[in-house]
Structure 1
Amino acid sequence: MSSSVVKTGKADAPSRSAGTPPTGSRGLQGHPWLTLLTVAVGVMMVALDGTVVAIANPAIQADLGASPADIQWVTSGYLLALAVFLITAGKIGDRFGHKSTFLVGAAGFAATSAAIGFAGSIQTVILFRVLQGLFGALLQPAALGLLRGAFPAEKLNMAIGIWGGVIGASTAAGPIVGGLLVEHVNWESVFFINIPVGLIALALGLWILRDVKTENAAKSFDIPGIVLLSGAMFMLVWGIIKAPVWGWGDPATLVFLGGAVLAMAVFAFWQTKAKEPLIPLSLFRSVPLSAGTLLMVLMAFAFFGGVFFVTFYLQNVHGMAPVDAGVHLLPMTGMMIVGAPVAGAAIGKLGPRIPIVAGMLFTTAAMLGMSTLSTDSGTGVMSLWFVLMGLGLSPVMVGATEVIVGNAPLELSGVAGGLQQAAMQVGGSLGTAVLGAVMASKVTDVLPENWAKAGLPPVRGAQAEGLNQAAQLGIAPPAPAGTPQQAVDAMANAVHTSFVSGMSLAFVVAAVVALAAAGLGLLTKRGANDAGPAVHI
């Protein structure tokens, strides 16, 4: 956006056509499609990092002698920082400009990636992973804010669709790229790959991006609001992450989850008193925006919670290498790559409601289909449900993002982008934890019966607990030397059958959540975007 101030009141329209490339000495600066290219390159790092690191974790653990708890922090520390800081990061973009925020995020993400690669201890890796999450949080809301400022309403859906396709492609490439790098180079290269990508994003950002600022943006920060919201998000996400380990009824879990509810209530009260609140509660007077936010939570719950088990199913039940498992997921991620731009075009013509509802119904059908997978299901059957899943998720991710960002005033586009990403993080964490608990309970119930049916001697005590935990990941126990092959096969079959039973139940629950999200999609509608904010503060 040009240096002239943009007004975004009820009767005011932006001082330029957001989809029109600038002219004169500025050259290509602010060009909508080049803006899209630039922010896509930056966000690609964050999306790629989400899946590529999971492949590297075993190598990191072996090389640095990390404990299982340490390795959990490599992932949890990053996710916590990302989830806690997203909305505040969006506010920073609204206050100081989304271009500056994006550039700082890209440079910081690349720099912390380099620091992780050169780290000599697991503690250093964890420290820089947390910092990496903070810089990643700066990138994503800023990217949506820049897109919101660069594109007019009639083209915003297509832009978000392509942006979603890039994220899908990066997510799909993660397991394959990570597997190849870990296998043929080293685990450090998984992080070093972010350096050239970050430098490209930084160079393009300096050359192409035009800042997005409005005269209505807050002039100060709501420090108490930031502290309360950050504390609430930390306690919520951390409680969800640890609940499967501690137990959902454990006092520690209840303290964290209860503390999150209390902090959120105090935060909501404070927002009604703050002079310049972090999240004006009047934002949620928009029913479509509120519905879109909850829809994003439910979609992420069903998708990330359900797909979490698929990687274990492919690698531990079917015995695939990480690279092979990534290839088998390509039908799903490939359809997301293709489907996101198509969904953007469809939403531009039809509005978000019909594509979102249809997408969640497709997702529901895919979840029910995946609940029927068995220990010997073939690639064709799996690919069918993966394709349907990709087709279903594309219009939901694009549509819900447009509903949230498009129904917010321009001066709060960064906060809206942070809200969208935070909803996805919370939903994904909650889905993984809740569906993980559902699966663990089912495996615990059926494993003794399946073990006995296989004619195997009963296992008790610590050995039984170890067997149960391994079965929850689909891992067959190692057999003592000299064990007949028939007994080895019987143990593996009992474990794999129990795992698939738990996975099937988890997918049924995910299908119910997806169906509820389809109903919620009926409340969504297109945002006002350039014509003026849908919510007036």
Structure 2
Amino acid sequence: MHRRRWAILGVLMLSLLIVMLDNSILNVAIKTIASPAPTGLGASQGQIEWAINAYTLVFAGLLFTAGLVGDRLGRKKVLLGGIAVFGIGSALAAESGSPGQLIAYRALMALGAAFVMPATLAVLMNIFEREEQAKAIGIWAGGVGLAIVIGPITGGALLDHFWWGSVFFVNVPIVIVALVLMTVLVPDSRDPRPGRLDPVGVVLSVVGLVLLVYGIIKGGELADFTDAKVLATILAGLVVLAGFVVFERRSDHPSLDVTYFKNKVFSAAMSAMALVFFALMGVTFFGVFYTQSVRGYSPLESGVLLLPLAVAQLLFAPRARLLVDRFGNRATTTAGLVLIAATLAMFATFEAGTPIWLLEVVFFLMGTGIAHIMTPTSVVVMQALPREKAGSASALSNTFRQVGGALGIAILGSVLATSYRDGIEGKLGVLPPALRDKAAESIEATLGIAGKLGPQGKALVTPANDAFLHAMHVTALCGVGVALIGAVVTALFLPGKAPAAQQGEQETELVEAAE
């Protein structure tokens, strides 16, 4: 038993916290980055989607390989390298001169992050004895919840006092502290029998997802999914992903063992995870523009408004097992997805003057629904596979969450962009023809151009708000449909209430499955 194990856990938590914090901290900065220079980068909605998805897709695509590299080269080396790359990417992202640079540097940050997350868990498992592992993993997983809570508020506070790049630059001093503490405290370890790498599988999965997401986002930007280039890109993405599945089925060392999905229970649980993140990331995306662009809240106020969502997750996630024990995985998860659908339906009724307390209630209920989906589905995933596959199951569930979120931003973001363009184009006659196409990209583009036109531009503010609210309603209803599909899948395929003899085992699995 390592004598400094709890201090080492603190360092691992710090590393995990900044990696997870980055996504939640970016949420409140979306509107600022979309603002014209010098306030922001003047990024279009599609470019904002890519700034988020560049991170998500690289992170998800490399998780499995990063874990295997750590097993081979040594977890400490990989952890130090990963956190250093993340820090360098953060510094470069903070100084980005264009949306394209920001997207590239976000991908670099994800490259580092992908090597940090599996290495922290592997080191943790190596320094704690079995009787303390469950407690340590519970604390480690709490870092994710902590990031959800403090990310939006930290981002909002930074944007109230500093430039937009501060949400990335804040990582740099924390990375330096983490590197010093890791070098001093964290012991190295490696797997004596590491798995084989699967570079072809990694390339196919990342390329396929990027092509698919690019096609979806481009279709939203053009408000035309029948465009030949859009259809060709989406089709190419689907063909590459099909090739990935065929390759993985034939490989003797796949990065994704597709045979897992022959288990209907496993497939249903993974689908539920992906669909809830699909809906959640899509809502967060349009929710920021609703609170900041339409309602006029500052980034800090917008971050505080997201607190009920995070608090509900922290409050109910550890207690979700009580409902699972009483009603079973199927009933708990299905009810959670129905609750998510109901909260999205509420978003479809929100207007510019809706009481803000109602938004807070909806966010709290949404967090409650998520807590009662993620906990039981994590348990189901871990229990559906043999115990020796626990590491793969955990990494796979993380990957599916990230991919679900990326597709949620791409698809729901494209619905939002298409609906907004349809609603605002007829109202842009007051603008010079050269500016109309740019103004139709997003509410932030319309308001940015309107702000430069003085009294003439003020006439566009109300139509822009109206067009955005209609687009948000349409997008939210699409999210309702996705959540209800998830509810049907879980109701049909997830297991019901476990026999009493298995309930004690479930509690142990719950902690192990937390991330």
* TM-score category (smaller protein): 0.7 to 0.9
Contact 1:43–1:140 (8 Å) recurs in 2: yes
Q: Which residue is equivalent to 2:502? A: none
Match of 1:223 in 2: 199
Structure 1 window deviating more from structure 2 (109-118 vs 69-78): it is 69-78
Aligned to 1:363: 340
1:85 to 50, 62, 69: 62
In structure 2, the residue corresponding to 1:333 is in which secondary structure? helix
8 Å Cα contact 1:82-1:134 kept in structure 2: yes
Q: Given the two structures, how large is their TM-score scaled by the length of structure 2?
A: 0.79
After alignment, is 65-74 or 384-393 more displaced?
A: 65-74
Q: What is the deviation of 1:102?
A: 4.1
Unaligned 5+ segments in structure 1 are 1-21, 532-537
Pick aligned residue for 2:461 from 483, 492, 495:
492
| Map of 1:240 onto structure 2 | 216
Can you list the C-alpha shifts for 1:148-189, whole angstroms capped at 9, x where unaligned? 786979996x87776565334423433332232233244454
Q: 1: CA distance between counterparts of 2:141 and 2:164? A: 27
Q: Determine which of 18, 41, 57 is the counterpart of 2:33.
A: 57
Greater Rg, structure 1 or structure 2?
A: 1
- Which letter maps to 2:221? V
2:439 touches 2:446 (CA, 8 Å); kept in 1? Answer: no
Counterpart residue identity of residue 242, structure 1: K
Partner Cα distance (1:513, 1:281) in 2: 23
**1:319 aligns to 2:296 (yes or no):** yes
Aligned counterparts of 2:145 and 2:474: Cα–Cα separation in 1: 26
CA distance in 1, matches of 2:380, 2:132: 13
1:501 aligns with 2:470: yes
- In 2, Cα distance between the equivalents of 1:59 and 1:225? 38
Q: Deviations over 1:267-311 (max 9, x none)?
A: 222233323222233322333322222212211121111231111
Matched, 1:43 2:16: yes
Structure 2 distance, partners of 1:93, 1:417, is 16
The alpha-carbon distance between structure 1 residues 73 and 270, as it changes in their structure 2 partners (threshold 3 A), is closer
1:268 aligns with one of 239, 245, 270: 245
The separation in 2 between residues aligned to 1:524 and 1:146, in whole angstroms, is 33
How many residues were matched structurally?
493
Tell whether the 8 Å contact from 2:35 to 2:444 is kept in structure 1 after alignment.
no
Residues 95 and 277 (structure 1), Cα distance of their counterparts in 2 relative to 1, 3 Å cut: farther
In the alignment, which residue of structure 2 is the partner of 1:469? 441
Query: SS of the residue aligned with 1:62?
Result: coil
- State the AA in 1 paired with 2:144: I
**Is 2:93–2:106's contact at 8 Å kept on the other side of the alignment?**
yes
**Gap change, CA 1:132 and 1:28, over 3 Å in 2:** same
Q: What's the C-alpha RMSD, in Å, of the aligned pairs?
A: 4.2
Determine if contact 1:165/1:336 at 8 Å carries over to the other structure. Answer: no
Equivalent positions of 1:125-524 (< 5 A) are 126-143=103-120, 165-199=142-176, 201-202=178-179, 217-218=194-195, 220-246=196-222, 247-343=224-320, 352-405=329-382, 407-409=384-386, 412-447=389-424, 465-466=437-438, 468-471=440-443, 475=447, 477-478=450-451, 480-481=453-454, 488=458, 491-522=460-491, 523-524=493-494
Q: How far has the Cα of 1:357 moved from its partner?
A: 2.2
Aligned equivalents of 1:441, 1:63: Cα separation in 2: 26
Q: Which runs of 5+ in 2 are unaligned?
A: 499-504, 510-515
What are the Cα deviations for residues 73-101 of structure 1, in whole angstroms up to 9, with x where unaligned? 65454334223323332443565566654
CA contact 1:352–1:524 (8 Å) conserved in 2: yes
Distance 1:460 1:480, change over 3 A: closer
Larger relative helix fraction: 2
The alignment partner of 1:372 has SS state of coil
SS of 1:397's partner is helix
State which drifts further: 147-156 or 395-404: 147-156
- Displacement after TM superposition at 1:117 (Å): 4.7
Question: Cα 1:447–1:255, aligned 2, differ >3 Å: closer, same or farther?
Answer: closer
CA contact (8 A) 1:152 1:530 kept: no
Q: CA deviation at 1:521?
A: 2.7
Question: Over residues 193-224 of structure 1, what are the superposed CA-to-partner deviations in whole Å (9 max), with x where a residue is unaligned?
Answer: 22343355556666877888777752x22333
Alpha-carbon spacing, 1:517–1:204, altered in 2? closer, same or farther (3 Å) = farther
Identity of paired residues, percent?
A: 28
Moved more, 365-374 or 396-405: 396-405
Separation (CA, whole Å) in 1 of partners of 2:185 and 2:330: 33
| Alpha-carbon separation, structure 2, partners of 1:373 and 1:506 | 12
**Post-superposition CA distance 1:35-89 (Å, at most 9, x none):** 7655443222122211434526358953897775877765454334223323332
CA change 1:473–1:309 in 2 (3 A) is: farther
Shift in Å, 1:372: 1.4
- Alignment pair present for 1:27 and 2:27: no
* Alpha-carbon spacing, 1:374–1:90, altered in 2? closer, same or farther (3 Å): same
Match of 1:9 in 2: none
The Cα shift of 1:131 comes to 1.7
Question: C-alpha displacement at 1:438, in angstroms?
Answer: 2.9
**Deviation at 1:140?**
3.1
Give the direction of change, closer, same or farther, for the CA distance of 1:35–1:389 in structure 2 (3 Å limit): farther
Residue 390 of structure 1: how far off its partner (Å): 1.0
Counterpart residue identity of residue 46, structure 1? V
SS in 1 for 2:250: coil
- Residue identity matched to 2:228: P
Query: In the alignment, is the contact (CA less than 8 A) between 1:344 and 1:399 conserved in 2?
Result: yes
Name the residue aligned to 1:3.
none
SS in 2 for 1:301: helix
* Contact 1:148/1:405 (<8 A) preserved: no
8 Å Cα contact 1:367/1:511 also seen in 2: yes
Question: What is the letter of the counterpart of residue 464 of structure 2?
Answer: V
Structure 1 residue 106: deviation in Å?
A: 2.9
Structure 1 pair 282–467 and aligned structure 2 pair: CA distance change class (3 A): closer
| Aligned counterparts of 2:431 and 2:162: Cα–Cα separation in 1 | 41
CA offsets, 1:295-345, max 9 Å, x none? 122111211112311111111111111111111221222222323333366
Mean CA deviation greater in 332-341 or 501-510:
332-341
- Aligned residue type for 1:391: T
Could you list the per-position Cα deviations for residues 452-504 of structure 1 after superposition, in whole angstroms to 9, with x for gaps in the alignment? xxxx9887955654554344878484485456xxx94x643333223212211
